[in-house]
Amino acid sequence: MSARLIDGRAAAEALRARLAIIADFFRASTGRPAGLATVLVGEDPASAVYVRSKIKATEEAGMHGLHHPLPAKTSEAELLALVDTLNRDDAVDGILVQLPLPKQIDSARVIDAVSPDKDVDGFHVVNAGRLAVGAEALVPCTPLGCLHLLTTELGDLSGANAVVIGRSNIVGKPMASLLLGESCTVTIAHSRTRDLPEVCRRADILVAAVGRAEMVRGDWIKPGATVIDVGINRVPGAAAGKTRLVGDVAFDEAREVAGAITPVPGGVGPMTIAMLLRNTQVAAHRRAGLKPPEDL
């Protein structure tokens, strides 16, 4: 019996519809829309596509998008000056500086320059620290989307054995903190984990965020486990010169063992932008002295 597919597109659409209602309430309460500023340095094709999709989603959700395209030769000082201006702009509730940045700019310095209260990517060290100690924080969008899918699929996660493969600051570490917050027993696995397949087989919840195409095989998975595949990897397609997207999990194998699984594409990916919009509304409400809705 094949695993249930966890439909990230449907979950994202439902959340975005809810956010559009919340956006109307915020505008009526404050006299202005929530504002998201996006900054793109250079013309990296993939980054440009991501930013365009974020701008479109922002407008569709009833929020105001303020886009700042900058030339690839922009200096670090110039970018930091723009971030400072956005920090002080009352019309801006969230700031997103699209990564990667050109080599002349230190990404860490730019991330640290964003106000933690407007850090809708959830990358600032202050938000990372708040999350780690269980305080109110803006959380990175991808792990927050994973948690939304898990709680929607499973309900109460308390007591579950969870394994997160990957220890990045963007996904692995915040994902572990979120699962701890749900009272899971959490293991962070990585490239130096001894007997990784056996560690994975103990997981009721397995989150793969390692960035290696189809690394997690079907026999690594506990029967009935819930598998969240964060990976997006391009591999050669069936036709010459073509590529296809696959996750970090060997999907066809895993689907025969797992209880539920996210596909790639159509699983975690759509949730990332939805959670960016969610974070922007949360930031806007807090800045306006309003309590964010409970269902966000």
Catalytically active residues are: 54, 98, 121
> How many other C-beta atoms lie within 10 A of the C-beta of residue 74?
18
Is residue 191 within 8 Å of residue 168, measured between CB atoms? Answer: no
Contacts of 246 (CB under 8 A, 6+ apart): 213, 214, 231, 233, 235, 264
Q: Cα dihedral sign for 276, 97, 113, 68?
A: negative
Q: Is 122 left (phi over 0), alpha (psi -120 to 50) or beta?
A: left
Going edge to edge, which strands form the sheet with 205-208? 4-5, 260-261, 226-229, 205-208, 161-165, 185-189
Nearest alpha carbon to residue 99 among 175, 168, 145, 173 = 168
Closest CA to 184 of 167, 215, 207: 207
Q: What is the DSSP string of 70-97?
A: E-TT--HHHHHHHHHHHHH-TT-SEEEE
- Give dist(CA 205, CA 180) in Å, integer: 12
At residue 55, φ and ψ (nearest 5 deg) are -65, -45
Q: How many CA atoms lie within 13 A of 256 on its CB side?
A: 7
